[in-house]
Amino acid sequence: MRHHLAVLYRVYLDAILEGRKTIECRLAKMGNIPHGLVESGDLIWLKERCGPIRAVCGVRMVRCFERLTPARVDWLCRRFNAGIGAPGAFWRQHRDARTATLIWLDNVCALEPFLVNKSDRRAWVVLAAPPVPDEALVSAVDGLV
């Protein structure tokens, strides 16, 4: 089991906590993290962009897609957006994505919000250990973040 930190805009984090967003979607032009590094049974710590960690959840299922085309991105939107909850602008912005990682979230648990020391702009970090309040995150991939 791995620990992950996902950085989300407040609107998406609120939707997860309210049960309206059940699938996290990460699209990329290249196979960026978490593509291929997240699997069923992992834990995801949900951090608000420029804010605290507000929740933790489990990973129920993951599906990875490669060699995407604009038509395939459109298909992902039609097939999965009810659980993803992304606006049309998100899908238009990512029409040229080549990979997609869809993560079904499970057992979402709101936490008393806490801050961690994160100094980079990455939106996803594979962690070496669970985050600790007011301490620096340690990435399992490349050391301190």
pLDDT at 145: 44
Burial of 137 (0-12, 13-18, 19+ CB in 10 A): buried
Q: Which amino acid is at 134?
A: D
Q: List the domains of the chain with CATH numbers.
A: 3-144 (2.30.130.30)
pLDDT at 142: 61
Return the SS3 of 35: coil
pLDDT at 143: 46
pLDDT at 119: 85
pTM over 0.95: no
Using 50 as the pLDDT threshold, list the residues of the chain that sit under it.
143-145
**How far is 32 from 40, CA to CA, in rounded Å?**
18
